[in-house]
Amino acid sequence: MADPNTQSNYLQIATEHLALEWTLNFDSQLISGSATHHLLVKKDDVNEVVFDTADLELIDAIIAGKSVKFEVKPKHHVMGSALHVTLPSGLKLGQYIDVTIEYKTTKDCAALQWLDKAQTQGKKFPFLFSQCQPIYARAIAPVQDSPSVKIKYTAKVTSVLPVLLSAIRQSPPSEGPAHDGKVIGKDPVTYSYDQPIPIPSYLLAIAAGNVRYRGFPQFEDKKWATGIWAEPELIDKAYEEFYEDTPKFLAAEEKIVTSYRFSVYDLLVDVVVHELTHSWFGNGVTHANASHFWLNEGWTTYIERVLQQELHTPAHRGFSFIIGSTALKNALQQFQDTGKTKYQRLVIDLSPEEDPDKAYSSVPYEKGANFILHIERTLGGLDVFLPYVKDYVETFIGKSITTQQWKDHLYGYWTKHGGPDKVKALDSIDWNAWFNGEGLKLPVELDYDLTLAQEAYALAARWDAARATAEITQLNFTPEDLKDFTANQIIVFLERLQSYQPLPLTHIRYLGSLYKFENTANAEIRFRFYELALNGTDTANAFAQEALDWIVGAGTGMVIGRMKFCRPVFQKVRKVDKPLAVKVWQENKEGFHPVARKLIDEDLGITK
């Protein structure tokens, strides 16, 4: 089935290689340049190539050094404007042809966020970063914007600030002088990159700013290198946080799944284990279209947790599922409250009229991971299951697949390697309930190892029992309660508290002050504290302004732009004080990524 979220004709002619030449203009906040497509003809006598675009200023189309006819169709409210380029007549199956598009991005580009210098750690230079998932690559380049099309790409990007891309740097060297020894912020330097492994268009990525590189110690027997990029003010802290675990996780995942194919794994201060795992699930084995997004995120989340068991203990794996369960519960409830129960499903039948971003939530991550865990247990446990995982990746790596293709391979593998008993076990699974089921609960409620959660649960129970104590001075709590807690145990403590009736305002205030949650620099913990505070009517009114101030960076200029944090806070404040939520958002929305702006506008009922 063709991808419903692209207007391109990738089934007739498809890009195999993309060559980008860009110039970054931080003053006008635009990218200008060209995109040259090396296209494979897949159908005799195809007479045009159709690219996806979104809010691009299209200047020229060139074939064999000559301008050719092109037409930009009217803008579709989800998919953007289809760019039709006329091809020479007589093209035959198997031929190649190059098409160059000259263009500029515009102020309406949904994929790019341009930060001013006040929004950076160093506050000296601006910063640019992109977000092309699920269908925003078309806003930075004319492409066949579907995960069913995988492309190699090269890029030459001229900029007055250091540039990073989702590819291997060719020049200047990462380890060399920053910005090739030129004056950062003043002198233009051309950065060259090459991505020799075919990737889906949503993995096109750029970041540019005052960043530095530091390589991690490498394993001598490995063919890949790892390192960290960050602003000078953060590079020491970022290196210390990631240098030891990143190569260790990468080596462990190679052992479980299959060899790492991309040669380099560099971080730009990231969610390491999850994004690293995408190298196999998503970047390697890719969903054919957004309806099957769970194949990316469910598998990635599941394997991320297998690594926790491999490198630590089974208790760590179970603990990760416990942490994820609250996010899943909240997402399912949100879709229930808004009447969008279709998005509670794993496999979502999206139409061309549906923006796939509206289906984005914790559901594909957490419901998907639990589904695979259920299959693992049904088939006999992790040791039995892992050889199948390796075969799955080796079968489909480099390809884009649907849920049905995955299921067919699953049955095929176990028919061959397990026989009738394993096939019977698979038949016992309620596939329809997992793929198409809606509601607030999983089709099968799974038990997890609670070992690491018990202390957090016990502390939450103590706070719940103390709700009747009116005098704060009589509450038997001290900062020492958290002395031996990890950050994840604190998160579970706060999430467990959310499962009880809301605490009185006095208790929430005391809890936040006693444990310093109200000003912690750990965004995961602070977000959970505000989630807890915004659950009760009285406490939500009391904390609404404070929570919003944290998100918009009031007084600091440091916006909390991650969708998992900013969107739920505005959603919760909207329930108790919509005018305040709208007012704060309207005053600060330009500091957020265009995708966040679009979705939070919708959440708050703001129309253009």
Q: Which amino acid is at 349?
A: D
Active site residue 365: yes
Residue 74 is classified by DSSP as P
Sheet of strand 212-215, all strands in order from the earlier edge strand to the far edge: 212-215, 225-230, 264-267
Would you say 278 is a known binding-site residue? yes
**What letter does residue 463 receive in the DSSP assignment?**
H
Residue 316 annotated in ligand binding: no
DSSP labels for 373-393?
A: HHHHHHHT-HHHHHHHHHHHH
Give me the half-sphere count of Cα atoms (radius 13 Å) on the Cβ side of residue 59. 12
How far, in Å, CA of 5 to CA of 359, rounded?
A: 13
Residue 275 a catalytic site member: yes
The residue among 499, 370, 496 whose CA lies nearest residue 442 is: 370
Query: What is the three-class DSSP state of 45?
Result: coil
Distance of alpha carbon 275 from alpha carbon 278, whole angstroms: 5
Within 10 angstroms of residue 373's Cβ, the number of other Cβ atoms is: 22
Report the Cα 362 to chain-centroid distance in Å.
11
CB count in 10 Å sphere of residue 412: 12
Look-up of token digits 């719940």? 464
CA distance linking residue 556 with residue 596, whole number of Å: 20
Alpha-carbon span 571 to 563, nearest angstrom: 12
SS3 551: helix
SS3 (DSSP) at 240: helix
Q: Is residue 274 part of an annotated ligand binding site?
A: yes
For the chain, report the end-to-end CA distance as a whole number of angstroms.
Answer: 34
Q: Which long-range contacts (CB under 8 A, 24 or more apart) does 554-558 make?
A: 557/118, 557/119, 557/123, 558/119, 558/121
Angle at 326 between CA 321 and CA 328, to 5 degrees: 85
Torsion from C-alpha of 34, 35, 36, 39, nearest 10 degrees = -160
179 exposure class (CB count in 10 Å sphere: 0-12, 13-18, 19+): buried
- Please tell me which residue in 193, 239, 343, 365 is annotated as part of the active site: 365
Give Cα 323 to chain centroid, integer Å: 18
Which residue is associated with the tokens 């997890």?
A: 448
Matching residue, tokens 């042809």: 97
Helix (H, G, I), strand (E, B) or coil at 596: helix
H-helix segments, 221-347: 235-242, 245-256, 272-277, 294-311, 314-337
* CA-CA-CA-CA torsion sign (164, 357, 590, 561): negative
Q: 404 Cβ partners below 8 Å, 6+ apart?
A: none
CA atoms of 60 and 524, how far apart (whole Å): 46
Residue 206, beta-bridge partner list? 165
- Catalytic residue (one of 254, 275, 438, 524): 275
Which residues sit in the known binding site for Zn(2+)? 274, 278, 297
Which residues sit in the known binding site? 274, 278, 297
Catalytic center residues:
275, 365
